[in-house]
Chain A
Amino acid sequence: MKNVWIICRRELNSYFSSPIAWLLLTMFALVFGYYFWTFISAFLEVSMELQMTGSTQPMNINEEIIRPLIGNTGFLEIFFVPLISMRLFAEEKRNGTIELLATSPVRDLEIIVGKWLAALMLYCWLLLFTGLNFAFLFRYGHPDVKTMAVAYLGVVLQVGALLAIGTFISTLTKNQIIAGGCTFAACLLLWLFSWVGAFSTNSWAQVLSYISVVPHSESFARGVIETKDTLYYLSVIFLGLFFTARSMESLRWRS
């Protein structure tokens, strides 16, 4: 456990001492800020119209703003996860530093979990800044904190799953661009699989849409922790890290 933390800390330091973390934060804050602004303006327009027509039905911030917003951060993951995960192992392989890690008294699994955890923590740090936007909602409305927390938990789980896949892909190549590109393709596919379910209902479509990450995030966005969806994410994380461990083992046998 101590070793995991040693690896994780170095990895985080390296994100923050290079421009990566700050660049990601800028892009993330910009895109998320734009989302937030459009949702808020739409919400205000609708509420104004409702007032004009004299409707007394209150509007729900949770349903109208928080849920779609957090759903949309899910879409951002497709772009941000590859940018974060692509360097994890590819860079070490290119620089030869993998030889230092692999010949230190540390287990492979500790290296892998440490790196994956660092990537996840970096993403959580990005998410922290979305909280700034939500702070305004708390100032002018009454959002449900519990719902929001569960929605965030869903995002973190989903990111963890995608990062585990990215970590695995990063062990396969020395080239960060290739690792990033393949991870992007994998994330995009996992996203697009959910569309299949909309067009057809045969068993293949059902399997594919189950594999997709999208349907599993819906329960969290509603503020419900579903065992089956939690289990889905945890198994993807487990599988991703498991394959990473196998890949690292084969790295030892082959290189």
Chain B
Amino acid sequence: MITVTDLTKRYARNTAVDRISFSVAKGQIVGFLGPNGAGKTTTMRMLTCFFPPSAGTASVAGFDVLEQPLEVRRHIGYLPEAPPLYLEMETIDYLRFVGRLKGLAGAELEKRVAYVLDRCAIGDVKNKLLGKLSKGYRQRVGLAQAIIHNPDVLILDEPTSGLDPRQINEARELIRSFAGDHTIILSTHILPEVEQTCEQVLIINKGKLVATDSVHNLQARARGAESVLVEIGARTGDFHPQLVQQRLQQSAGVSRVLIKEQFDRGAVFEIETGKGQFVRGDLARSIVNAGWDLNELRTAAVSLEEIFLQLTGTPAAPPPEPIASEPEPPEAQA
């Protein structure tokens, strides 16, 4: 549905987006993740034909953003970071205006307006001035205008920014419910949002794409290994965590052991194991055999937060290797 190849945006002094490539299949929800100023909005603006790229190409729903910008815009619903509302208009008039702008008219327009009023739960404010609406409502009106012409692609720039927790949940639910009918790209700098809403993640930093993968794979791949958290205690005798660490290190399949936490008569170790090796059983056995208590043993899910820090991390750390999934077969263009 969306294919981006070497997309670049240069400004006079800096490069905001530097040769990023990715593709999004129909019906997917893709999270566009990156710190502020990473180039998320710039990329989205190129996709929505707000401005043209400096180099590279992108096609949306089979139309090229440079060659056929009007066609691309017809197939895109866009919610900028600040919902583009005319504050002196009533909700319903505003939706009619946007609908007409996107080429709807007559009975079809009325049908779509009624549909989005219902879908985004803004029917009760349809005759209110947009300037008088709360932030949550404004955001929902923003979403309503984005889907009014039933676009193939939805591009949402930080759709939950500035909302309170309840509104954030409502907005996420709404966005999730759009998936399937629409292909969605949403940008955010809030990690849990991606974990909760998206199937795929594109991580962007300083204009470069550092990772593109499914949330699940990314978590698994980030360390190239699984890690296991083990809490070991001892009821009698001395307990030297360093000693335990050495012993654990010698078990088969273990690549690294870290002491995460220490307390009086026990400690928590993080044990990294080679990829795809099932060492938990061996570990448990050797711990028990050594006479220690195995209080807890679980696999540690790497949070996206850690991946994110790792990928976009401090300059002191060696630059992370770009992690990319196997290139998807180019999608058949409609």
Q: Do A and B bind each other?
A: yes
Main secondary structure of the interface of A (DSSP, over half): helix
Partner among A13, A104, A253 whose Cβ is within 8 Å of the Cβ of B101: A104
Residues of B within 8 A of A102 (CB): 50
Kindly state the separation between the CA atoms of A253 and B101 in the bound complex, as whole angstroms: 23
Main secondary structure of the interface of B (DSSP, over half): loop
**A255 within 8 A of partner (CB):** yes
**A246 within 8 A of partner (CB):** no
Interface bits B65-88 vs A (CB < 8 Å: 1, else 0)? 000001101101010111111111
Partner among B83, B84, B88, B145 whose Cβ is within 8 Å of the Cβ of A17: B88
Kindly state the separation between the CA atoms of A239 and B130 in the bound complex, as whole angstroms: 36
Decide if B82 touches A96 in the complex (CB within 8 Å): yes
Residues of A within 8 A of B213 (CB): none
Residues of B within 8 A of A99 (CB): 50, 78, 80, 84
Interface bits B31-54 vs A (CB < 8 Å: 1, else 0)? 000000000000000001111100
Interface bits A212-255 vs B (CB < 8 Å: 1, else 0)? 00000000000000000000000000000000000000001111
Decide if A105 touches B73 in the complex (CB within 8 Å): yes
Quick one: given A3-B101, A10-B97, A13-B93, are A103 and B49 in contact (CB under 8 Å)? yes
Kindly state the separation between the CA atoms of A10 and B100 in the bound complex, as whole angstroms: 11
Residues of B within 8 A of A100 (CB): 78, 80, 84, 98, 101, 145
Partner among B49, B70, B71, B86 whose Cβ is within 8 Å of the Cβ of A10: B86
Decide if A103 touches B48 in the complex (CB within 8 Å): yes
Kindly state the separation between the CA atoms of A209 and B87 in the bound complex, as whole angstroms: 43
Residues of A within 8 A of B82 (CB): 95-96
Decide if A14 touches B88 in the complex (CB within 8 Å): yes
Kindly state the separation between the CA atoms of A95 and B83 in the bound complex, as whole angstroms: 9
**A97 within 8 A of partner (CB):** yes
- Nearest residue in B to A5 (C-beta to C-beta)? B100
Which residues of chain A (1-43) have a CB below 8 Å from chain B?
Answer: 3, 6-7, 10, 13-14, 17-18
**B106 within 8 A of partner (CB):** no
Q: Report the tally of A-B residue pairs with Cβ distances under 8 A.
A: 70
Decide if B76 touches A103 in the complex (CB within 8 Å): yes
Which residues of chain B (232-290) have a CB below 8 Å from chain A?
Answer: none
**B103 within 8 A of partner (CB):** yes
- The count of chain A contact residues (Cβ–Cβ below 8 Å) is 25
- The count of chain B contact residues (Cβ–Cβ below 8 Å) is 30
Of A96, A99, A104, most B-chain CB atoms within 10 Å: A104
Interface bits B153-170 vs A (CB < 8 Å: 1, else 0)? 000000000000000000
Quick one: given A105-B102, A105-B103, are A14 and B86 in contact (CB under 8 Å)? yes
- Nearest residue in B to A3 (C-beta to C-beta)? B101
Decide if B101 touches A6 in the complex (CB within 8 Å): yes
- Nearest residue in B to A7 (C-beta to C-beta)? B101
Decide if B101 touches A96 in the complex (CB within 8 Å): no
Residues of A within 8 A of B294 (CB): none
**B89 within 8 A of partner (CB):** yes
Kindly state the separation between the CA atoms of A254 and B51 in the bound complex, as whole angstroms: 8
Residues of A within 8 A of B80 (CB): 96, 99-100
Interface bits B7-50 vs A (CB < 8 Å: 1, else 0)? 00001000000000000000000000000000000000000111
Decide if A105 touches B74 in the complex (CB within 8 Å): yes
Quick one: given A3-B101, A105-B74, are A97 and B93 in contact (CB under 8 Å)? no
Residues of A within 8 A of B87 (CB): 95
Decide if A252 touches B89 in the complex (CB within 8 Å): no
Residues of A within 8 A of B85 (CB): 95, 97
Could you jot down 14 A-B contacts, CB within 8 Å? A10-B97, A17-B89, A95-B87, A96-B81, A97-B86, A99-B78, A99-B80, A100-B80, A100-B98, A103-B48, A105-B101, A105-B103, A106-B101, A252-B51
The 5 closest A-B pairs by CB, nearest first: A100-B84, A252-B51, A103-B48, A97-B84, A105-B74
